[in-house]
């Protein structure tokens, strides 16, 4: 059987003009050299395949980055809308408008919304029973909101007055 390649270290060369490699080996039959075997492999198809794969990977990466950016912008927008709504409610709270509430959500903003809504409800109850003058005085004088005070015994007397006859009671204004 003829040995096609005399050694694995057969001479090879690179042809820059053809962008190819040439592998050359003598063909022998017994002790006789019958000729040479030359194998030429072009680099062009491999380089084109690598170039196409690189371009495809780049287009894919840019597409993924674009989709992620859009999702991030939507996410930020939703968060900012919730923040804007909360800011408006704080303004309403300072004007004693308690009707609006933050919407229920199933995320960390939802937990904050629920706590904020509880605060609004408590503030509404507080301001319903405490006179506006008392609240303004407490806000304007820090000494009044500090813990402390004094104990004092007081007596409170209640009386009922009935009017006789055709006299109508005076109405308070």
The model's pLDDT over 103-131, given as tens digits with 9 standing for 90+, comes to: 777 777 777 778 878 888 887 788 778 88
129-144 burial, b at 16+ Cβ within 10 Å, e below that, comes to: eeeeeeeeeeeeeeee
**Mean pLDDT score of the chain, rounded to an integer?**
79
Q: Quick check: 63 pLDDT over 90?
A: yes
**Dist. CA 128–CA 157, nearest whole Å:** 26
Q: β-strands 12-15, 20-29: how paired? A: antiparallel
Residue whose tokens read 């395949």: 49
The model's confidence at residue 2, banded by pLDDT at 50, 70 and 90, is very low
Please give the torsion angle defined by the CA atoms of residues 44, 50, 56 and 61, in that order, rounded to the nearest 10 degrees. -150
* Residue 60 backbone phi and psi in degrees, to 5: -60, -45
Q: Quick check: 33 pLDDT over 90?
A: no
The model's confidence at residue 59, banded by pLDDT at 50, 70 and 90, is very high
Mean per-residue pLDDT, 41-62: 92
Q: Does residue 104 contact residue 111 with C-beta atoms inside 8 Å?
A: no
């Amino acid at each position: 059987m003829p040995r096609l390649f005399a050694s694995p270290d057969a001479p090879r060369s690179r042809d820059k003009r053809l962008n190819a490699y040439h592998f050359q080996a003598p063909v022998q039959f017994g002790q006789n050299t019958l000729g040479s075997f030359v194998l030429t492999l072009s680099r062009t198809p491999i380089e084109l395949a690598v170039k196409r794969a690189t371009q495809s990977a780049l287009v894919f990466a840019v597409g993924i980055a674009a989709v992620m950016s859009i999702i991030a912008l939507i996410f930020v927008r939703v968060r900012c809308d919730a923040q804007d709504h909360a800011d408006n409610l704080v303004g309403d709270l300072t004007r004693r408008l308690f009707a609006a509430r933050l919407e229920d959500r199933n995320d960390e903003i939802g937990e904050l919304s629920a706590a904020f809504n509880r605060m609004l409800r408590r503030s509404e109850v507080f301001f319903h029973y405490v006179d506006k003058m008392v609240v303004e005085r407490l806000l304007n004088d820090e000494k009044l909101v500090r813990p402390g005070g004094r104990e004092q015994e007081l007596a409170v007397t209640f009386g009922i007055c009935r009017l006789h006859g055709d006299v109508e009671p005076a109405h308070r204004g």
